[in-house]
Amino acid sequence: MHDDRSITEHRLRRVLKERIKPAVHSRPVPLTVERWEAPGEPVPVAEGLAAPYGPCAIGDPWGPAWGTTWFKVTGAVPVDWAGRTVEAVLDLGFDRMMPGFQCEGLVHRADGGEIKALNPYNDWVRVADRAEGGERVEWYVEAASNPVLVDHAATSEGDRLTSGDQPLYRLARMDLTVFETEVWELVQDLEVLYDLMVQLDTGDARRHGILRAIGAALDAVDLTDVPGTAAAARAELAGVLAAPAASSAHRISAVGHAHIDSAWLWPLRETVRKVARTASNMVNLMDEHPEFVFAMSQAQQLDWIKTHRPELFERVKKKIADGQFVPVGGMWVESDTNMVGGEAMARQFLYGKKFFLDEFGIETNNVWLPDSFGYTAAMPQIVKLSGSRWFLTQKISWSQVNPFPHHTFWWEGIDGTRVFTHFPPVDTYNSDLGGAQLAHAARNYREKGHGSRSLVPFGWGDGGGGPTREHLARAKRQHDLEGSPKVRIERPDAFFEKARAEYEDAPVWAGELYLELHRGTYTSQAKTKQGNRRSESLLREAELWAAGAAVKVPGYAYPYEDLERIWKTVLLHQFHDILPGSSIAWVHREARATYARLREELRGITLAAQLALAGEGAEELVFNCAPHARRGVPAGGAGRPAEAGEPVTVEERHGGGHVLANGRLLVEIDGRGLIVSVYDLEARRETLAPGSAANLLQIHPDFPNMWDAWDIDAFYRNRVTDLVDLDAMEVAESGPAAATVRVTRSFGSSTAVQAVTLRAGSRTVDIVTDVDWHETEKFLKAAFPLDVKAERTASETQFGHVYRATHTNTSWEAAKFEICAHRWIHAEEPGWGVALLNDSTYGHDVTRDVRPDGGQTTTVRLSLLRAPRYPDPETDQGAHTLRFSLAPGASIGDAVREGHALNLPERTLTGAGPVAPLLSVDDDAVVVEAVKLAEDRSGDVVVRLYESRGGRASAVLTADFPVSAAVESDLLERPLAGSAVGAPTPSGAVPLTLRPFQIVTVRLHRV
């Protein structure tokens, strides 16, 4: 037989596009359209309904960037349509290729209730299943003219303060039509079969059988009367659609989903509307399709619906109760996991799962993080302690170098906890359920022979409207179809239960899930990152002192509502396109303002609690909220600090520069203002590599291949400029308590002023760097070449640290050329190590070189600032203050202590006398992460601790108040079957036994 495949395939594509699809909505009758432009920000629905509408015609331009246009749409169903299915087609001017990244609309009834959303693949509204004829239509469309910002070009459209006022869209269509059901079904038949056919091998008889059936169907279609001949065409396809799948076919659990970034190329306020639009579509689709299941993560987004769209929220609640609308994830938002602090990660689950329990009575079992940029090795333990059982991600498929070896596996964290994990082989979290994607999922699945199933999240995300009736039609046809995986729509937990049952002995992946992409997100938008770190620290302070005051001071009221509200705001801004710095200018401008507001509020809460604890008096008290004693002031207490130690001296250095000494360290700064020696007087060894200089600012070109704010590519290292030219150097402070040398440099269009300080009694060299940054597409680093033979470095992560090799033996190590650390990174050889500490920097890189003398130089660099142009062309422009410290001779324990000290400054005020800690621990390896009152307002005190050094620990937790019981709890403060917490003694001492990196939450019942 002659090969006529291409002819039939081409024929199908043209007939579908030009004849069959246009016939789905027939006999169009124009609706009357009026419009009103809302001034400024979006208005309440009632205001939009009552607005003065003016004339509007199809083809009219509308919508400046970030504007809202209200369209009033009226008309009547023709009488001769009685008994027909009638729909309106309301096309705002959509580009069908970009669902979620353009204009969107929400249709309201005249009474203000939501009907459904309008999106590129969902531009219809059902009027009647069987029209009576003459029905009146009166709808109001709230249309958002969001600019298209996906072309990766620098643009001022990313902020309403700088965007233009020219219309972005043209109204395309507003018609009443007859919905031709049989034609629509024919479209679905043909598309499913075509998509399946082209995935099959050309030698497969099944492919040719489908081809012949399609040819017969096209022959049956009268192109002048598609509605009248659609049924006959479908009859030609019935046989090939009825052929069952092979018994060994891959099984797909299809879960409706609409991944909605809580901010990205739109501001937070627009996400509130995107969420409402999507949810309205989903509950409508559920009304028509009881088999449809839709999973929605991010408690914050459901809370937005509750707050802003209460009527819609009640509909969502009903569907949740019915089992169709499924809350997943258990977190407040789909947060970043690399940079979020330990306690903040715990609160993501506390407030996320608590919302689902309080509002819906649902305990979510899975963690749903398809799009975050890599996953901390601390996550498995946090997942388990939240009461969750499963973990799902997709993003690791974006790794540039090493394909991840598993799709279903056990993920093991730094403490040894394992969580059952799935990584969907479909390689997208916005699947269209088309044949290409399903075939890819089956081919790509790496557990063949052990497992047989995978999960596919389907639906248009980011405001694209979620799953559509077309998606459900594809799922129905591919439920049991020869040549296709078997598709079943079901809840995520059903998939995980089956996947674990068939593959209990799945392989284990130990350690972080490092994304070999988007490494620049550890650095972009420094002020957003600084705001996050400072907010986490301030929340720790506020809760610690407020808990102490609530227990010890009669009449003091613990600020439950304020702290919860502030926590939720901080958690929201940890979303994986806000904290990583990959959102538009508007988002980060608002984030900076939000962090400033929270800072003042938290300082007020902290001061009020400290004043209550201190009482009236004139004694100067230093409050220490760090988890370790410092200067004689106990952790979590207040008192008069002890003498610092041997005074600091500063002398002129031979050959230029200065020498600082305090009896523990001797620091040399040369004539260029660079640190050329840090001598550990106690260990009698040099910290820096011979002939090198530390605190060396270096600048690189920064023009990645694609994702500007997200990525740095390894080739940036090929060009570097050392910033050694000096504008000025002076001794800014010289006294027994501290000595400071200030160095000023100019480079490009920027300046940097660095203050290098040595303090009495200190084992750290402290550096404050003020940068007035006005570079473009540049990358600023601070280098510390250490005379340390380190095979690996330790980087602080949540509740512990993670080790990474310094070598590049394999592609896996080489791909980690930029890494994330929290408050410190530590390099060590047996017997001696060095820590580099920071107060708000996350990005680092480590390289190693062997010198001619045989020694190894381990260079640790902090990534200070970037200047990408997209999506915010002004990223990091302006003034920054960055603090970091070098700690020679530091052990891991020293790094933990000094890292907390740098991030949790002392507070000084006057009072009646010393304040005893509310709680104390007798082992410095056991770190108190948080002290607070219980969420249920019982008055119980909750303390979260962890073993910080990677070893076992036995400690005693002592309360400065009567304790009736100590209960080991989960992150939601519920009793947990565990063995880490012993019974309290009559004096309030609670024995603790912790394994390496174990997190323990203790709930103390007060007498």
**Catalytic residue annotation:** 371
Is-contact 585 872, C-beta < 8 A? yes
Continuous segment of H or E residues that includes residue 897:
helix 892-903
HEC sequence for 6-68: HHHHHHHHHHHHHHHHHHCEEEEEECEEEEEEECCCCCCHHHHHCCCCEECCCCCEECCCCEE
Tallying the residues shown for the chain, one arrives at 1007
53 and 26 in contact (C-beta within 8 Å)?
no
Amino acid identity for residue 992 in this structure: L
The CA distance from 338 to 797, in Å, is 8
Burial class (CB in 10 A: 0-12, 13-18, 19+), 362: middle
609 and 538 in contact (C-beta within 8 Å)? no
Enter the tokens of residue 31: 């609706």
The amino acid that residue 137 corresponds to is V
Closest CA relative to residue 724, chosen from 657, 778, 678: 657
Contact 131, 84 (CB under 8 A): yes
CA-to-CA distance for 279 and 143, rounded, in angstroms? 16
What one-character DSSP code corresponds to residue 969?
E
The encoded tokens of residue 367 equal 């963690």
DSSP letter (8 states) at residue 245: P
Helix and strand numbers, DSSP H then E, in the chain? 18, 52
Residue the block writes with tokens 């305990």:
363
Q: CA separation (Å) from 414 to 511, 624, 826? A: 6, 29, 17
Q: State CA 280 to chain mean position distance.
A: 24
Distance between CA atoms of 701 and 703, rounded to whole angstroms? Answer: 6
10-18 contacts, C-beta under 8 A, 24 or more apart: 11/215, 11/218, 12/190, 12/194, 12/214, 12/218, 15/218, 15/221, 15/223, 16/187, 16/190, 16/191
List C-alpha distances in Å: 5 to 184, 192, 210, 212: 25, 17, 11, 9
Q: Identity (one letter) of the amino acid at 706?
A: M
Say if residue 810 is exposed, middle or buried (CB neighbours under 10 Å; 0-12, 13-18, 19+).
Answer: exposed
Which amino acid would we find at residue 386?
S
> Would you state the structure tokens that stand for residue 658, as one six-digit string?
């200065």
Token reading at 395: 């993003």
Residue type, 587: V
Per-position b or e across 34-55, b if 16+ CB within 10 A of its CB? bbbebeeebbebeebbebebee
Q: How many Cβ atoms sit within 10 Å of the Cβ of residue 445?
A: 20
Residues 6+ apart with CB under 8 A from 504: none
DSSP 987: T
Contact present, 146 and 270 (Cβ < 8 Å) = yes
State how far the Cα of 141 lies from the Cα of 546, in Å rounded to an integer.
Answer: 48
Using only C-alpha atoms, the chain has a radius of gyration, in whole angstroms, of 31
Give the DSSP letter string of 409-465.
Answer: EEEE-TTS-EEEEE--TT--SSB---HHHHHHHHHH-TTBTTB-EEEEEESB-TTS-
CA angle 333, 402, 828 (to 5 degrees): 80
